[in-house]
Structure 1
Amino acid sequence: MFNKSSLLFSLFLALSAASTPAVIARTSPTPNTLTKSYHSTNGGSIAKADQTRATHLRKQALKPTEKRASGPAPASNRVVLYTANLTVGDVHNVTLLIDTGSSTTSCTGQKCTVRNPTGQSELLVYGSAQFFGQETVQNVEFGQYKVENQSVAIGTLDHGLAPFDGILGLGPTDLNENTRLLNRSAVSTFVDNLVSEGRIERNVVGIYYSPTVKGGEDNGQITFGTIDRSKCSGELKYVPITDSSPANEYWGIDASATYNNVPLLNSTAGIVDTGTSLVLLSTDAFNRYMEATNATKDEATGLLSIPASSYGQLHSLNFKIGGFTFEMTPDSQVWPRSLNECIGGRNDTMYLIIGDMGTVGGTGLDFILGYTFLERFYSIYDMSQKQIGLCSTSNTFRVTNSRPSVEGFAFCSQTPAVPLVRVGTALPVASNTTAVSPSQ
């Protein structure tokens, strides 16, 4: 979520896509591993962070294209994130957040170096975190694939991003359409450049997550240029990107939602977003869900909570997308109890992963399916056809929260507040991922 600074110029634009590339044939996908990491900054509320992100996503998409920054970024106080290790320029093991809600690549100056600067700079806002940087054009290597001319924003002054080094934006190219810089008419995302440089055939990304009950587990995979159908336990369903604004600026879809036959959302637009942790519903739908589940708001975490004894009374939450039903079982609606301490919660309580968007329905962006939804389904982001694919996996009906009590299973680290620092002042950077390669 990038806020435009009135004092600075546009940033983060990549080279325009080239003409039809010489395509490198790929056969079967060979994804490498993503690892989920847990970090809490000063006990920040996961619910508040997601709501802040949702607000910025909506505002950013509604800006006229000539006034946009180059795309949204994650809110600060992220408790749970999926990251990958990349090489930026000559710097290895750069830990970037995987974000389908952004189309840009950035790296803090504490980790990356300025090479081939374009002379453009901007103040970026990640929730309450701040990032002032300048655009550079550098080689970026992600597993087996290397982009030779990728636009990367290198931070010269940043606050609140540690221990992570930046973001890898996997959002639609349209997020940056009609933004002009240095006589370039459009942004090229990292995936755009993989296509234009002949590294992959199609502009498509496949993301697989798996529920986890402890931090540091290798429980995710990503592929570029093709998909891994072996992840699907059911039929892969494709739906077009919605026509409704502002959801159509992102990986937006149309859906309706019911809980135990109680209508929560009529057919409306929302987005699929790896940078959001929870499943967010418009405030009116959220209130209906809270009433139907007899949940109460927990002040410590900002989440809905129920007593552990009420676990057996939960029902499925169903999203109908493109005529197909995607079921969130009772278990998938509950935050992993072994990780309650990571979000400032209690071991004897069950926290629900359904959050409040902070706005009533009818805005054109009425829900967000965050990674807690995506841990139960394999997701495909196909820019070549402007569509999204979803299928059930072996994790769709997996049970992780049935035990009556959980003690001593917290696997999370606390990230202290980080002062505003300038380039050249080293910050401790925690490596939380296994390097990820795209598909063959």
Structure 2
Amino acid sequence: MLLVAALAPFVVLATSVAANPKATRNPHISLSITKHVNGNGTSSLPLRDQKRSMNLVKDCRQSEITDVPLNDSAIAYSVNIDVGDPPTNYNLMIDTGSANTWLGANKPYKKTKTSVKTSDVLNVTYSAGLGFAHGIEYEDTVIIAPGVAIRQSIGVASNSSGIYPYDGVLGLSPKYWSIGMLSPDNTSAIPTVTDNLYGQGKIEQNLVAVSFEPTTSAPVINGELTFGGTDSTKYTGDITYFPLTVTETTPANKYWAIEASFRYGNASATILNTTAGIVDTGTPLIGLATDAYNRYVDVTGAVYDEKAGLLRITPAQYKNLQSLFFDIGGKTYELTPNAQIWPRALNTLMGGETNSIYLVLFDLGPKISKEMGFIAGMPFLERYYCVFDTGNSRVGLATTPFTYADIN
């Protein structure tokens, strides 16, 4: 999860299963996504997002920022998955910033006749100290949807923290992020659930797409996770695809990283030149490199609210707030003023004032800014349909009925 909410994932044992040419592949398989609010009236969300960011880049020292539990995040998203025979249902947080699937954090793993214990040990620390999971690796049957089962390596945590109230994590990043996380096998990339759905002949394409709706309450089913194809009812117009960045100074080989620049307002003032950044379901806010963040503060007139941990603007400033534009590969993606503000109905969960107006942009910090320029987190993904295409090493984006909606 990035869980900037990126969890830095632990790796699970890989099982190489050849595609079954006789299998009937599904055009796509869809799962409902539930939005959760875990706020407790005190904000640590931007700090947590900074820590998640630190875990996404190399050579960041864990002692730089104070530890904050993962479950302090105000918003997270999960799906329900069945494991074993007879099956047990687990609620897993979706994370495009980690490649691993594991469980046992809240609900214990139930071994059945399909469970196969491996010789590998799980020992992972997430997001620069935000959480951890210790245990062993199993191979088991994972039921993604009725009639759709795969063999999957899963981590089974005997001891963990920072993930409550979820049972574990469904990792959806490129599998390369899993290298080096198991003991004694620390050299293999572990096939993700998406990889195995494709490799075992269950889906037509090695990709997963996500659709979210901006909402002002939670828990609520507000999204869809689609394996193997796209759902044309969830987006408008065409999907435009962008290759993953090849910039060596960003974690491109591990995450869904693309090149983008940012402009603010009708004057088209550039606040961030073209640079590499990450699209991430595990980050509840939108992160900008420090220089770009400071420019955004200047043009909006926002001030940092210590209590809420977010930028705050006045009603008069909100009336003058202009759109923020993401320029990606010759295409422009607009975040309207409404899309830049935190859902007002959730203000108090972040320790904010009921009638205040808070913005969803946060500072990545100077150290992280040297490694990547932005993280397009959930405020962006609640406005645009996104395709994480493993088979073609690219990210696809399209408008939705909510791109320009006034919801917050």
Separation of aligned partners in 2, 1:41 and 1:149 = 38
What is the CA–CA distance in structure 2 between the aligned matches of 1:387 and 1:77, rounded to whole Å? 32
C-alpha deviation, 1:148, in angstroms: 3.5
Report if aligned partners of 1:258, 1:264 keep a CA contact under 8 Å in 2.
yes
1:243 equivalent in alignment to 2:246: yes
Deviations 1:263-289 (A, max 9, x none): 111110001000111110011111111
Select the residue among 158, 169, 174 that pairs with 1:167. 169
1:123 aligned residue: 123
Render the CA deviation track for 1:210-244: whole Å, top value 9, x for unaligned. 00011122210111111012322222111001101
CA contact (8 A) 1:18 1:196 kept: yes
Gaps of 5+ in 2: 1-5, 62-68
Once the two structures are superposed, the pairs formed by residues 45-194 of structure 1 within 5 Å of their partners are 45-59=44-58, 75-89=70-84, 90-108=86-104, 110-113=107-110, 115-127=115-127, 128-144=130-146, 146-176=148-178, 182=185, 185-194=188-197
> Any idea what the Cα deviations from partners look like across 1:149-170, whole Å, max 9, x if unmatched?
2111111112232111110001
Percent identity of paired positions between Structure 1 and Structure 2: 36
**Corresponding position of 1:258:** 263
Are the counterparts in 2 of residues 91 and 112 from structure 1 also a CA contact under 8 Å?
no
Matches within 5 A, 1:222-233: 222-233=225-236
Distance 2:278 2:187 in 1: 28
CA separation of 1:133/1:61 partners in 2, compared to 1, >3 Å: closer, same or farther?
Answer: farther
Which region of structure 1 is more displaced relative to structure 2, 361-370 or 129-138?
Answer: 361-370
Asked if structure 1 preserves the Cα contact closer than 8 Å seen for 2:7 and 2:98, the reply is no
Structure 2 partner of 1:414: none
Q: TM-score, normalised by structure 2?
A: 0.87
Q: Equivalents in 2 of 1:177, 1:387: separation in Å?
A: 20
Which amino acid in structure 1 is aligned with residue 237 of structure 2? G
Contact 2:180 2:187 (8 Å CA) reproduced: no
1:268–1:362 CA contact under 8 A, matched in 2: no
Letter in 2 for 1:306: I
| Contact 2:40–2:350 (8 Å) recurs in 1 | no
- Say whether 1:341 aligns with 2:340: no
Q: Provide TM-score, normalisation by structure 1.
A: 0.81
After superposition, what is the alpha-carbon deviation per residue over 1:363-409, rounded to whole angstroms, capped at 9, x for unaligned?
A: 342110001110000000111111110011110000023xxxxxxxx
The amino acid of 2:261's aligned partner reads: S
Gaps of 5+ in 1: 5-9, 63-73, 402-440
Alignment partner of 1:389: what SS? strand
Of the structure 1 ranges 316-325 and 51-60, higher mean CA displacement relative to structure 2 is found in 51-60
Q: Please provide the CA RMSD for this pair.
A: 2.6
Bigger relative contact order, structure 1 or 2, given CA contacts below 8 A and separation 6+? 1
Q: How far apart are residue 361 of structure 1 and its match?
A: 7.7
What letter corresponds to residue 159 of structure 2 in structure 1? L
C-alpha displacement of 1:12: 1.4
Give the aligned residue type for 2:328: I
Whether the 8 Å contact between 2:123 and 2:181 is mirrored in structure 1 is no
- Partners of 2:279 and 2:122 in 1: how far apart? 27
User: Are 2:70 and 2:162, in contact at CA under 8 Å, matched by a contact in 1?
Assistant: no
Letter in 1 for 2:351: G
Matched residue type, 1:57: L
> Structure 1 residues 360, 329: CA separation in 2 closer, same or farther (over 3 Å shift)?
farther
The offset of 1:129, in angstroms, is 2.2
Compared CA separation, residues 42 and 139, structure 1 to 2 (3 A): farther
Aligned length: 384
Question: C-alpha displacement at 1:311, in angstroms?
Answer: 1.6
C-alpha distance in 2 between matches for 1:227 and 1:220 = 13
Match of 2:39 in 1: 40
Q: 1:227 to 1:12 in 2, by over 3 A?
A: same
Hey, what's the Cα distance between the residues in 2 that align with 1:61 and 1:385? 30
Q: Structure 1: which amino acid aligns with 2:45?
A: I
Match of 1:287 in 2: 294
Q: Give distance in 2, aligned partners of 1:358 and 1:328.
A: 22
Residue 362 of structure 1, CA deviation: 6.2
